[in-house]
Amino acid sequence: MGRDWVKPSTKRMEGLTIERLLFKNAVFHTLDRANPTAEALVVENGIIMHVGELPTQRAGFSHIDLGGCHVYPGFIDSHVHFMEFAKRQIEVDLEGVSSLKEALELVRVASRQRRPGEWILGGGWNKNRWGSGDFPTRWMLDSVAPDNPVALLSKDGHALWVNSYAMKVSGVTRDTPIPLGGDVERDNETLELTGIFKETACRLITDRIQAPSEDLTWVIEKGIAAAHARGVVGIHNCEGEQTLRAFQSLRAKRGELGLRVVSHIPVEALESAISLGISTGFGDAFLKIGSVKVFADGSLGSQTADMLEPYEGRETYKGIAVTDAVDLERIIKRAARAGFSVAVHAIGDRANRNVLDALASARSETGKQLRHRIEHAQLVHPADIPRFGELEVIASVQPTHCPSDREIAEKHWGARSRYAYAFKSLLRAGARLTLGSDAPVEALDPILTIYSAVNRKLPDQDEPWYPNERLTQAEAVWAHTFGPVYASGDEHLAGTLAVGKRADMTVLTQDILTCQSEEIINCTVYMTVVNGKIMYSREE
């Protein structure tokens, strides 16, 4: 006889390793057209061995009763800054802070907990929520933390707010040359630096921040646990060597990560990777190399997105090209010849056009059909939308940006916002959509991501923004499950619940495919399964 039916609980089930599992008493939404739903699923050694009716022979299995829940292929966040997300749990977190006064008070509290000279780090601030929308200054930080260097990254990750101490220890003065692709804020009268560094200029400070001496694997572990609680089984990470090293160290320590990680590499590391013979796909089932991350421009929040026409109310200003069109083409061709796909950050319509032009040229010259991606694709000129399908470009988008940014998009882009976050138009044009959060810029929360994609608003907003660009629930779920594994070239291994594929599953309390669109936000993660292991289960 087999074991009794097991009711999952956090204490007994998290991290449980069992060779043969029978999942029962749920609706399994396989996303497999040949077998769309099932009533039972059998897993052996992390692989799905049966999807369909409840087996008549049940001996030798450990039985998992899912209490009438709904099961989907595991949610994957296809654009995240994972170390920053994990660190935000232990640093100064300014996400959602609604006033400058409140932000400064949080920094004041942090300064009391630090020794003199010790860095205060954090981020998440959004000047667009603070009255006039003006950038804050270093002198404001000086008033609350005069004895510590302070560096706080903006919500969009494209501007750094520092105090005078941070500038001093970094050796930065009003006469310091500003790197190409970067900018700084200056006082209109004195031309003194105000403490705001944009785009590549951020490195004038960040490259001199003392690296933490402690092992960062414990920070990654906290982040992984938080991801599991949100139903996330895998990520596509957009960071550099420090995070990749931490993932490798954690894997060596634990034997496995418990989270599937596709790690993009920064363009600065491209030549080193090529010289070592590494290319996209190098690695294994839990940690593999993804694309080369390139920045074409800045962001909407910091008004550094590269635009075809000037920002509203600004006669000539069109943003910042972090990487110009000539260099984009050179980099993409170099990467493609070496077997690397690219993941290019592009927010403004000119940035997106430049990337599409470079991809078209590279495809013509190299003839390689790599799975190139444009990250964000926030504003695309209507003439360029069909090119995503024509060039087989993956649109890696973050739906929560749409309702979060709607007010500043209207302010700075005006009528052009009709084709901002144009998910439906991109999908109809043949683009492959893959969804992510851009955490910690937005919440790492697939349910909120799907809600935003379907409703074009946040739960506390009344009306959808450009509702003709809404995705259906099925389209959004597909883009959060199958979309990421297609982007990483793993669709034969995951993305649907089918025999022979990985046993990566997200279990929800409600049917996110058929519930009322407003009810999506009320779906709760009941269980997260990675490689046949129950990594998270909700307490009753």
Query: 101: domain CATH number?
Result: 3.10.310.70
Give backbone dihedrals phi and psi of 241, rounded to 5 degrees, phi first: -65, -35
Question: Nearest-CA neighbor of 261 among 241, 239, 240, 236?
Answer: 236
Question: Does residue 485 share a domain with residue 375?
Answer: yes
Q: What is the mean pLDDT of the chain?
A: 92
Which pLDDT band, with edges at 50, 70 and 90, does 214 fall under?
A: low
- d(C-alpha 509, C-alpha 234), whole Å: 20
β-pair type (37-44, 47-52): antiparallel
Whether 289 shows a pLDDT value over 60: the answer reads: yes
Cα gap 70→280, rounded to integer Å: 34
CATH number at residue 283: 3.20.20.140
Q: Is residue 79 part of a domain?
A: no
Please report whether residue 82 resides in a domain: no
Asked whether residue 270 is assigned to any structural domain, the reply reads yes
| Residues 365-401: tens digit of each pLDDT | 877 789 999 999 999 999 999 999 999 999 999 999 9
* 81 found inside a domain: no
**What average pLDDT does range 446-473 have in this prediction?**
97
Query: Cβ distance 419 to 392 under 8 Å?
Result: no
> Is residue 398 left, alpha or beta, with left meaning phi > 0 and alpha meaning psi from -120 to 50?
beta
Least confident piece of the model among 29-33, 219-223, 275-279, 305-309 = 219-223
**What pLDDT was estimated at residue 367?**
73
Q: Are residues 371 and 277 in the same domain?
A: yes
Question: Do 501 and 488 share a structural domain?
Answer: no
How long, in residues, is the chain? 540
Same domain, yes or no: 99 and 113: yes
pLDDT band at 10 (very low <50, low <70, confident <90, very high): very low
**Interatomic CA distance for residues 169 and 207, integer angstroms:** 11
Question: According to the model, what pLDDT value does residue 5 have?
Answer: 39
Please check whether residues 65 and 113 belong to one and the same domain. Answer: no
62 and 154 belong to one structural domain? no
Does 21 share its domain with 96? no
pLDDT score of 210: 57
Look at residue 517 and tell me if it is in a domain.
yes
Q: The tokens of 208 are what?
A: 């001199």
Per-residue pLDDT, averaged over 445-455, amounts to: 98
Domain count, the chain: 3
138 and 151 in a single domain? The answer is: yes
Tell me, yes or no, whether 236 lies in a domain: yes
Domain residues for 9? 1-74+495-540
pLDDT of residue 59: 78
Structure tokens at 326: 């000539």
> Do residues 434 and 372 lie in contact, with contact meaning Cβ atoms separated by under 8 Å?
no
Residue 8: what pLDDT? 40
Longest dimension (CA), the chain: 83
Report residue 4's pLDDT band, with 50, 70 and 90 as the boundaries. Answer: very low
Residue 539 pLDDT:
66
Q: How far apart are CA 125 and CA 445, in angstroms?
A: 19
- Does residue 123 share a domain with residue 98? yes
Which of 159, 182, 206 is the endpoint of a domain? Answer: 206
CATH number at residue 540: 2.30.40.10
pLDDT-based confidence at 11, cuts 50/70/90? very low
Q: What does DSSP say about strands 75-80 and 92-93: parallel, antiparallel, or unpaired?
A: unpaired
What is the structure's pLDDT at 256?
83
Residue labelled with tokens 């956090």: 10
pLDDT tens-digit map of 240-271: 998 999 999 999 988 889 999 999 999 999 99
Same domain, 466 and 532: no
> Do residues 463 and 507 both lie within one domain?
no
What is the CA angle 133-402-395, rounded to 5? 125
In a domain, 381, yes or no: yes
Confidence bin at 19 (pLDDT 50/70/90): confident
pLDDT of residue 88: 78
The yes-or-no verdict on residue 231 having pLDDT over 90 is yes
**pLDDT above 80 for 18:** no
pLDDT score recorded for residue 6: 39
Burial of 246 (0-12, 13-18, 19+ CB in 10 A): buried
Tell whether 303 and 397 lie within a shared domain.
yes
How far, in Å, CA of 345 to CA of 304, rounded?
A: 12
Give the residues across from 123 on adjacent strands. Answer: 93, 153
Q: Which amino acid is at 159?
A: A
Has residue 427 got a pLDDT over 60?
Answer: yes
CA distance 525 to 227: 11
1 pLDDT higher than 90: no
The residue-averaged pLDDT of 106-132 equals 89
| Residue 2: pLDDT over 50 | no
Confidence of residue 211 (pLDDT cuts 50, 70, 90): low
466 falls within a domain:
yes
Residue 424 confidence (pLDDT) above 70 = yes
